[in-house]
Structures are given as structure tokens and as C-alpha cells.
């Protein structure tokens, strides 16, 4: 019976490994790839999707079309039993688990994101990891411009027009550059926004940006970004975040409604839980990409710690987490597995970087190729050409080229496709002094205090008399919403750092219908106010 | 001071009215358009977006670019005070209401959807009204194919491969045709699905489809759809729906996980609440498009009942709700308002339909133009050309043409972009006998029974002994999820028609953290099972 080779993950590492294995082993092995999405994401183009210079559909390709002859399984991986050689998955909408046995396992799951070390960042930061993240960023930025266009409140307008990107690596630099270009090209359509009101800030913990590139190129990039109106804050980290502010480790408080975090790489839980040796959150492999201590498990890409020489110890002795290396590692893994199946010893991995490229927006870039350094327009053209060549599928390549052409010729697409709806339940952080809401505002939810304290202020519309109420943990406010009030009659602000749970009206009524305990708790309050409780079903 | 003309709605009626007014009045009037989105949606292309032959970005155009010289306000309309001539809106993320005064008001808000008359349809049907709907449909269909590809359960596979479209008007017919084509072109990539397993069904309450077109064309369309494997169920309505079944008025029960409802047009609440005369859910206007009884309010498009002659009484005496008529009505309204501003009497609206076109998928269509009838490929080409010409903006026109070309040449894009995440709280309907879940299934939520009864069956893994529990209104099940159990240990099925509220694990823990009453209610249960309650914060 032919051997079953199962690949986990459909990014650069997994997709190219599946291709290389197919080519190497033909129909002699059953090759299967498991991925949560049915498409391959071209990660390096995500900043371009985020800025709207290409549409989301053109940054992805269907795995089934890319991988003819490979069995593609769209499924979420629940766990991997290394001893029994079984991957347990949940497929699509199916709730019954499925067990997928293997003879050889290739782990190419990449890295996840963990922002939980910085209070508020996890709840309030946008990411740039998935296609959905990129799409959401674009919608969010246009929303801020739309908002600033009509806002009458100076502080709100300032927050809406301040855009912060955290992390000065490839992803952060390309995102901030593309973001600035999107904004600059959109402003002519927003006559109430003066260009001087826009602030775009890049925050980086180290003393320079693009640390993976030669210093000269990093300096060029920094200079270019600053020349185009981007503020760099180096030697600066994030201390905490709320929905309207970013606090830096240098103590600065930035009023901003847009925080894009490109930092916080962390192992995915399913990789972390594999019964295999780890180091620095990655799977330890030898130079044939075989997992330490196993003959049947292999790993590549960002989830693996891959030594480039036998006595690797320095950071530069290990393969960097780039698409370029992942593609080479994919070939290596196919060779290693093919050799192993023939009973031969695989040869060790060796690859020297051909160089690195980064786009800076505004048709400028930096590049280092075979030791030669390029900057400016020529580097940007090299960058585009390189990624165009790397894109899988002729049709996608033509479409992306065509889109780029249209983008160079015409106006940037300003359409704000709807981003994800607000969740029904959400946590919000406030810093001491922050406004929660003001009298006259639209009622947007029912608030319950988890920690901290808020003060509610009510001015009697007739007598002008002011009454105050302090609300601490366990207390709640904003109930009038449930009675059908569409406007706030009181103002609420935080007296200290405060965390609340907000429930929207529909969810509140669903909970009242679905949970007798919840319903009964609020009955006295509602009946006192003459409300039919519970209200008749919303359906 | 120049007159303020405020247009509500940025669809065909509103967008073209703003353009016509701008052209007619130049800078002599302040022209403002208020729309919830900052883009114009090309409604007739939504079925094509739903089927992936064009990307969502190409079915929309930014209003600010289309309407130079017009003030575009992205805002949600809260209410209209007809007496005081003020529109109150909420702008973007702003919670403070904004008042927009007007001298003349143009209402072009179209129609909403109300599916609440058929139990379960509102919760379980997909729609085809917005761009988001179309995008969601495409993701949903690909999800079903992915699911059927790997499903081992025949009944689940049958449900996943049965696609139902409700309503045989333009939208329903084009959707079902495009849907079938998407599926047919995708199947080669799903080797485990036999084409004979796919069922695509069109349900129509009347005795024929395309009731707005001549009978011969309707018959041709019906024949074409049937020849391409689509089942027509005429004289058939929807009685009720669940997540896995559609019950028709003829008593048939169809196992399906895809119900697309193109029916249920209903007035939007904001239009319904306007203090103006209504008829059949629409605003009553005279032949100059002026709202009955007002000198300063005008209406056009689907939200207006527009007489085509003075003594209109029959249905055909009123303007049909098509893009073609909306564009003509827009010109009329600009003329009417311009005449009124000059103190002249506006001339009455008169327009005869130039014809109608519908696409049937598989490069076939039906068309009636100036009384001439066309069918098949030529009608399809006419249909594409007509809509291409109607698309606003050269860039969009080129892109759509280019996409169509690529689509004709190459494979359909199979990428399943992520559809909206499951809501944290949701209602589910079950019919008597339906499975809720089975032992071994992934735990997907905590269930609370609102009405009806379910039976829980537990088989002891050691003794094989079977125990049963009946759970009625107010009861709940699936709590083990909260304890961290990822798999069901019991099976649950509905003993009668049952309605439940399902809360996902994260939401349940948020509620326990945010609401002391909720937390305390579940404390005895959790402590009995040795669980730390409440668990420490998820953040």
C-alpha cells in the first residue's frame, strides 16, 4: 500500500511542500494537505490588500486548483497524536471528528499571534496575519476618514485621523507605507479633512526599522517614510491600549482609533501541544528538517527552528521566517522524505538568502539582491516583479498585474465594504477619565462593570439639577436601552482604569428569552418601569 | 442662500437623482446625499457576485467619486421630521446624533426584506439584497461542497448538496442559474461528489417564473433551467424552515442546508415611520413624483408608488421596481424640483419600458427589447452589454469586462473567503425528530430550551446502560462545554417542534464574568463538578 504523507498547513511551506512531494513521488504516495481554508494566501501582498491596491480575491488562490493530484482537506486540526500517528480534525460545518492517519507528517502551520501581554491590545488592535485582517483594516481606515469628514468634535477627529502601526519589520513597514498612500490618495474626496490633520505613526521597539536588512537600507527606508509624513517612534514599545488611545513604554499617550499590531508572533496552540521537542516556541528539527527524536515527523516554515549549520547557536545560524526560505525548505523536505522512503539518508538543508525586498509605498522600496543594494523606484519595481513571479497561477498573475496597472493610472478604490459586524458581547477598556458615553448619544448597549469604577451624571432637563451615581464592579448601567430608549439621558465616565462587558439590545433580549435566571434578575427593574417583561419574542 | 436638497439613499434612484440634480442646478443648490454605505451597489450584478464570476469590489463604486460636486454623507438615518424639515442621522461610529435640515427632500431608500411570516425562514435563509449577502452566498455554497467532499454521512451529504432558491422573479431566476453554473464548474475539483448527487431547486408561489416578462420568455427560461438540471417547483410556497430543512406549502420536506430567499420585500422602518401617506407599503406620489400633500418631499424608486397615468388603478398603471425605471424617475425628479424652484409647474412623469432582460446562467438569457423577443446566447450577450453600459465609471467597466473574459476562459474562482463568523448567541429551530447533536460531536455551544421538548440520551461507556432525560422550556443542556469538554457525551433530539437559544463557550464565560446573577445561577452546578467558578478571565 502506498505511504500516506499528511501535510498540515497550506501557506508557503505547506503548499510548496505538497507540490514538491507530488512532483517527486508521483502517484507512488498518497499526499494529503489539511488546511483551515480552501485557499493559499499570498502573505506578502496583505499590506496591499489592506490598502486596496489589489482586491482580496487576487491575494489568494484555491488550493484544489494549485494542487492537482494532492488530496486537499478543508478542516480545523483538533490535535495530533504523535505516538499513534493520527491527526484528528473537524471538517467544515461537521461536528463529528474525523481521524486522519499518516505514515509521514509534515508540519507547516506557521505562527499565531498573541497580544495578551499588553493590556487592551488584544481587544483593540487590528492585525495583519490573515486575508480577513487585511480586508478589515481597509474598511476601518475608510471608516475613520468618513468619520473625520463629518465629525464636529475636535478630539474625536484627531483620534480618527491618527493611525498607528506597531512593529517595524517587513510587515509593519509595508503596512504603514501602503496605509499612508491609501490615505493620501483618498483625501481629495474628503474636503473637510486637511492633510495636516492626518498623523501616521510607526512604533518600533528596537533602535531602527527593517532589522532583517542591512543598516543602510533600513536608514533609507526610515528617511523615506519620514519624508512622506510618517512619524517614526523608535526605542518605543506599547504599554497599553484602549479603543481611543495607545500608551507607549515611553509614557506618551497617543489619541488614536487605529492600532495595527504586526508584532506578537507566538506558537499556535495545536503546535505547542504536540508531543515533540520545542525551542523558542518552535519545533526543533535537524538539518534534514526531521523533528528531533522522530523518524516520521517533519517541519518547515515559521513553526520550525531550522539550523543552517551543524553547530547552530546564534540567531543567524537558523533559517529566517520568510517566504523565500519556506519555498526552499519545501523542496528540502520533499527530498528528505523521498530519500527516507527509499531507505537512504537525506542530505542536510543548505541555502543562502538571495536577498530581501520591502515596499515603502508611494512607488518606492528597498532591496538587497545577491549582495547588491537598491533603493527607490527601481527597488519597488524589483519588489513587484519578484512577487508577481512568485504568485501561483497565470490567471492570478495577470489579474494582479492588471489591477496594479489600473491602480497606477486611476484613483484608489474608496469603497468601504462592510467590515465584520460588532460582536453581540464585547469587553471595553477605559483609562481613568475616559468618557463612556454622553447624554444625547445613541444607545449602543447595556454595560456591566467587571473591574474599576465609573460615575454617572444626570442633569434634570427641567430643573437643571445634577445628580451623580458611582457604579463599581457588579453594577450595571445603560438599561434604558432595553426599554426601547434610543438616546442616552445620562453621561458616564471612568473614575479609574475600568473594564466593562457590553451587551447589545438584541443579545440582551435573547438572553432574557433564553435564560429564566437572567430574565428574573431584571424583572423587578423592568416592572418598576412598567415594561412588559419579558418582551414578546423578537421573531 | 442656496436651497438645500437632501437625497436619502444611494441606489439607482438616489445616485442618479443626485447626478441629474447636479447637472440641472449646477452650483445653484446645495445637493447632499445620505447613504449608509459610501458606495453605490450595482444590484443587477449581485447574482454574479454570489456565483463568483465577478469579485465584490467590481459590483460597487464609491459614491464620492461618482458624485463630484454632491455632498456625500455616510450615515444611518434615524428619523425624518417632515414638519420641521429635518433628517436626524448617526454618522459612522459616532454616537452623537446629527441634524440635517433640508428645503427639498428626495426619498430613494428602496425596500427592505421581511421574512418573519414564515417560521424559521428569517433565521435560516440567505438573502440577495446587499453586497454582503452575495458574498456570503458564495462562501456558503463553497462550504457545502467542501463539506460534501469529506462527509461520510449520507443524509448530511444530501442536505449539503441540495440548494434551494425561493422566488422566481428576476433575482431568483438569475441567482439559481448562476448558482448552478458555479456548482457545475466547481465539481471537477471535488472528486468525491458525483454530479447526480447535486440538487438545485427553484421554488415559486405563482404558476410560472419571470412573471414580469412575456409568457413565451418565461416558458423558455423554465425550459432552459430544467434542461440544465434545475428543478422547478411552481405553485409552491414556503411553510417553514430549519437549518437543515425547508417545508413547502404543498407539504414536501426538502433536506437542504442552503435556502436563498429572494422574496419578502417590505418597507424599511424609516420609510414606514415617515409622516406621509402610504399605500401598499410605499410612499404615495403624484405624477411629478411629489409626495401626496407635501410641496417639499419627493420620492422615487422601489419605495414610491408611482402612477404612470392620471387614473392609475391596475398594477400595470404604476412604475415597476426596476433599475431602468429608477434611472428615468431620477431625471424626472430633477426636472420637477428645478421647475418648482423656478416657480413653474413640473410636467408629469411618462415613460414606457424599453424592455427587460434576464440571465439564466450557462451563457443563456431571455430578453424583450422594444417588443422584440430574444432567447439563448444572443439574449445573454445583450444582457451583459446592457449592464456593462449601465455600470458607472470607466475603470469599473473595464475591470468587469476583463473579469468576465477571464471567467469565460478559465476556471471559476473556488476560493472560499471567510463568511461572517457565527454569532455568539443564536436561535435554532428544530422540527420534531431532528437531531440536535450526537455523542462524539464537537461541542459547539450551550443550549437553552425556549419552547418545545428535547430528549437527551446517554449510554454509559462501561456498562452500556442507557439513560434518558426530557428537557422542556427553561431547561438547558450542553453545560459540559463550559467545563472545557470538547466532545459531546450524550445525544439529543427534538421530541416536538423546538426552539432553542445557543450560546458559544466564549460568550458564556463573558456572561459569567459580566453578570453576577448569571454567574451565581450556575455556581452550584459548576462547584458540584469541581470547577473553579468563575474561571479566571479569558484575557
Chain segment A485-522, per-residue pLDDT in tens: 778 889 999 999 888 999 988 888 889 888 888 888 88
Distance CA A289, CA A298 (A): 6
Instruction: Select from A164, A290, A168, A261 the least CA-distant residue to A217.
Output: A168
| Residue whose grid cell is 440641472 | B24
Question: Burial of A352 by CB count in 10 Å (0-12 exposed, 13-18 middle, 19+ buried)?
Answer: exposed
- What is chain B's pLDDT, residue by residue, as a tens digit (539 residues)? 689 999 999 999 999 999 999 999 988 899 999 999 888 988 888 998 888 777 777 788 889 888 989 999 989 999 999 999 999 998 866 778 889 999 999 999 999 999 988 988 988 899 999 888 998 898 899 889 988 887 778 888 999 999 999 999 999 999 999 999 889 988 988 888 999 999 999 999 999 999 988 899 999 999 999 999 999 999 999 999 988 899 999 999 999 999 999 999 999 999 999 999 999 899 999 999 999 999 999 999 999 999 999 888 888 899 998 888 999 999 999 999 999 999 999 999 989 888 889 999 878 899 999 889 999 999 988 988 888 887 776 766 776 777 677 666 654 555 665 544 567 888 888 888 888 888 888 888 889 999 999 999 999 888 889 999 999 998 989 887 777 777 888 999 999 988 899 998 888 888 988 888 888 888 888 888 777 777 664 43
* Cβ–Cβ contact B404 with A under 8 A: no
Distances (CA, A) of A185 to A223, A402, B163, B431: 21, 19, 43, 54
pLDDT of residue A420: 46
Question: Burial of A107 by CB count in 10 Å (0-12 exposed, 13-18 middle, 19+ buried)?
Answer: buried
Instruction: Select from A3, A58, A57, A63 the least CA-distant residue to A34.
Output: A63
Spell out a b/e string for A30-49, using b for 16 or more CB atoms within 10 Å of the CB, else e.
bbbbbbebbbbbbbbbbbbb
Instruction: Select from A146, A137, A2, A165 the least CA-distant residue to A71.
Output: A2
Distance CA A33, CA B150 (A): 13
Q: Are strands A454-459 and A491-494 parallel, antiparallel or unpaired?
A: antiparallel
What does DSSP assign to residue B67? T
Residue A93: is its pLDDT beyond 60? Answer: yes
| Residue whose grid cell is 485582517 | A133
A330-336: average pLDDT: 96
* Cβ–Cβ contact B78 with A under 8 A: yes
pLDDT of residue B112: 92
Distance CA A391, CA A381 (A): 15
pTM of the model: 0.79
Strands (E), A21-135: 29-35, 39-41, 60-62, 71-81, 86-91, 98-101, 104-107, 112-113, 126-127
Q: Give the whole-number percent of chain A exceeding pLDDT 70.
A: 94
A361-378: average pLDDT: 89
pLDDT of residue A538: 43
Q: Among B97, B414, B448, select the one facing A514 at the smallest CB separation.
A: B448
- Alpha-carbon distance B375 to nearest alpha carbon in chain A (angstroms): 31
Q: Which residue has the higher pLDDT, A9 or B350?
A: A9
In the numeric block, which cell numbers belong to residue B32?
447632499
Q: Give CA torsion, residues B23, B287, B272, B170, to 10 deg.
A: -80
Strands (E), A242-337: 245-248, 253-255, 258-261, 265-266, 278-279, 282-284, 297-299, 304-305
Query: Can you list the domains of chain A with their CATH numbers?
Result: 3-111+267-341 (3.50.50.100), 121-265+356-409 (3.50.50.100), 425-528 (2.60.120.10)
| Residue whose grid cell is 467619486 | B65
Instruction: Give the pLDDT band (50/70/90) at residue A1.
Output: low
* Cβ–Cβ contact B514 with A under 8 A: yes
A383-390: average pLDDT: 84
Contact state of B65 with A411 under an 8 Å Cβ cutoff: yes
Distance CA B134, CA B136 (A): 5
B116 neighbourhood in chain A, CB within 8 Å? 539
Instruction: Select from B432, B477, B50, B149 the least CA-distant residue to A94.
Output: B149
Q: How many CA atoms, within 13 angstroms, populate the side-chain half-sphere of residue A334?
A: 21
pLDDT of residue A49: 86
Give the distance from CA B281 to its chain's centroid. 19
A124 neighbourhood in chain B, CB within 8 Å? none
Contact state of A38 with B402 under an 8 Å Cβ cutoff: no
Q: A307 near A315, Cβ under 8 Å?
A: no
Q: Which residue has the higher pLDDT, B429 or A169?
A: A169
Give per-residue pLDDT as tens, A258-270. Answer: 999 999 999 999 9
Distance CA A239, CA A249 (A): 5
At residue B462, the 3 state secondary structure works out as: coil
Distance CA A526, CA A522 (A): 6
Residue A417: is its pLDDT beyond 60? Answer: no
pLDDT of residue A289: 97
What are phi and psi for residue B458, nearest 5 degrees? -125, 125
Residue A419: is its pLDDT beyond 90? Answer: no
| Residue whose grid cell is 505547506 | A14
Instruction: Give the pLDDT band (50/70/90) at residue A112.
Output: very high
* Cβ–Cβ contact A491 with B under 8 A: no
* Cβ–Cβ contact B396 with A under 8 A: no
Distance CA B292, CA B275 (A): 11
DSSP line for B420-437 = PPPPSEEEEEE-TT-EEE
pLDDT of residue A414: 59
Distance CA A443, CA A504 (A): 9
* CA pseudo-torsion sign A272, A278, A282, A288: negative
In the sheet that holds A476-477, the strands lie side by side as A425-430, A498-503, A446-451, A476-477
Distance CA B290, CA B284 (A): 8
- Alpha-carbon distance B218 to nearest alpha carbon in chain A (angstroms): 35
| Residue whose grid cell is 446625499 | B33
pLDDT of residue B147: 84
Q: Among A257, A437, A514, select the one facing B95 at the smallest CB separation.
A: A437
Q: What is the distance in angstroms between the CA of the first residue and the CA of the last residue of chain B? A: 56
Give per-residue pLDDT as tens, A208-256. Answer: 999 988 899 999 999 999 999 999 999 999 999 988 899 999 999 999 9
Partner B, chain A 355-394, Cβ-Cβ below 8 Å: none
At residue A60, the 3 state secondary structure works out as: strand
Instruction: Select from B430, B434, B428 the least CA-distant residue to B493.
Output: B434
Residue A57: is its pLDDT beyond 80? Answer: no
Q: A457 near A507, Cβ under 8 Å?
A: no
Instruction: Give the nearest chain B residue to A49 (CA atoms).
Output: B57
Q: Which long-range contacts (CB under 8 A, 24 or more apart) does B510-516 make?
A: B510/A425, B510/A427, B510/A501, B510/B538, B511/A425, B511/A501, B511/A511, B513/A450, B513/A501, B513/B537, B513/B538, B514/A425, B514/A448, B514/A450, B514/A500, B514/A501, B514/A503, B515/A448, B515/A476, B515/A501, B515/A518, B515/A521, B516/A474
Amino acid at each position: 500500500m502506498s505511504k500516506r504523507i499528511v501535510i498540515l498547513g497550506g501557506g508557503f511551506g505547506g503548499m510548496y511542500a505538497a507540490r514538491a512531494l507530488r512532483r517527486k513521488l508521483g502517484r507512488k504516495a498518497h499526499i494529503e494537505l489539511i488546511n483551515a481554508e480552501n485557499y493559499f494566501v499570498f502573505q506578502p501582498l496583505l499590506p496591499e490588500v489592506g490598502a486596496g491596491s489589489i482586491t482580496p480575491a487576487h491575494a489568494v488562490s484555491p488550493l484544489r486548483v494549485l494542487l492537482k493530484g494532492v488530496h486537499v482537506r478543508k478542516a480545523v486540526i483538533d490535535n495530533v497524536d504523535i505516538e499513534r500517528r493520527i491527526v484528528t480534525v473537524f471538517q467544515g460545518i461537521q461536528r463529528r471528528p474525523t481521524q486522519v492517519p499518516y505514515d509521514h507528517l509534515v508540519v507547516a502551520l506557521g505562527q499565531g499571534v498573541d497580544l495578551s501581554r499588553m493590556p487592551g491590545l488584544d481587544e483593540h488592535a487590528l492585525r495583519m496575519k490573515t486575508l480577513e485582517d487585511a480586508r478589515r483594516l481597509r474598511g476601518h481606515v475608510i471608516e475613520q476618514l468618513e468619520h473625520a469628514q463629518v465629525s464636529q468634535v475636535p478630539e474625536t477627529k484627531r483620534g480618527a485621523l491618527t493611525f498607528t502601526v506597531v512593529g517595524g519589520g517587513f510587515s509593519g513597514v509595508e503596512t504603514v507605507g501602503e496605509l499612508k498612500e491609501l490615505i493620501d490618495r483618498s483625501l481629495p474626496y474628503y474636503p473637510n479633512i486637511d492633510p495636516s490633520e492626518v498623523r501616521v505613526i510607526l512604533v518600533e521597539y528596537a533602535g531602527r526599522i527593517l532589522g532583517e536588512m542591512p543598516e543602510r537600507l533600513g536608514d533609507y527606508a526610515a528617511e523615506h517614510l519620514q519624508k512622506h509624513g510618517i512619524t517614526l517612534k523608535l526605542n518605543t514599545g506599547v504599554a497599553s491600549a484602549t479603543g481611543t488611545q495607545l500608551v507607549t513604554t515611553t509614557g506618551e499617550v497617543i489619541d488614536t482609533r487605529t492600532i495595527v499590531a504586526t508584532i506578537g508572533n507566538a506558537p499556535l496552540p495545536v503546535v505547542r501541544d504536540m508531543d515533540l521537542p520545542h525551542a523558542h516556541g518552535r519545533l526543533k528539527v535537524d538539518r534534514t528538517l526531521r523533528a528531533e527524536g522522530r523518524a516520521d515527523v517533519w517541519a518547515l516554515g515559521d513553526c520550525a527552528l531550522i539550523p543552517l549549520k551543524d553547530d547552530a547557536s546564534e540567531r543567524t545560524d537558523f533559517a529566517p521566517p520568510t517566504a523565500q526560505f519556506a519555498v526552499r525548505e519545501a523542496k528540502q523536505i520533499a527530498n528528505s522524505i523521498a530519500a527516507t522512503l527509499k531507505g537512504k539518508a537525506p542530505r542536510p538543508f543548505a541555502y543562502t538568502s538571495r536577498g530581501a525586498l520591502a515596499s515603502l509605498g508611494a512607488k518606492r522600496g528597498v532591496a538587497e539582491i545577491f549582495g547588491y543594494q537598491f533603493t527607490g523606484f527601481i527597488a519597488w519595481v524589483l519588489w513587484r516583479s519578484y512577487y508577481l513571479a512568485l504568485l501561483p497561477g497565470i490567471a492570478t498573475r495577470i489579474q494582479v498585474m492588471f489591477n496594479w496597472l489600473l491602480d497606477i493610472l486611476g484613483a484608489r478604490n474608496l469603497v468601504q465594504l462592510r467590515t465584520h459586524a460588532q460582536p453581540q458581547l464585547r469587553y471595553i477598556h477605559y483609562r481613568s477619565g475616559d468618557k463612556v458615553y454622553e447624554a444625547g448619544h445613541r444607545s449602543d448597549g447595556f454595560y456591566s462593570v467587571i473591574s474599576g469604577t465609573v460615575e454617572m451624571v444626570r442633569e434634570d432637563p427641567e430643573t437643571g439639577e445634577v445628580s451623580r451615581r458611582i457604579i463599581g464592579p457588579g453594577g450595571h448601567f445603560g438599561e434604558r436601552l432595553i426599554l426601547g430608549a434610543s438616546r442616552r439621558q445620562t453621561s458616564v465616565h471612568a473614575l479609574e482604569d475600568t473594564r466593562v462587558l457590553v451587551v447589545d439590545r438584541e443579545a440582551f433580549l435573547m438572553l432574557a428569552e433564553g435564560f429564566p435566571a437572567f430574565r428574573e434578575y431584571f424583572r423587578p427593574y423592568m416592572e418598576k418601569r412598567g415594561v412588559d417583561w419579558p418582551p414578546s419574542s423578537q421573531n
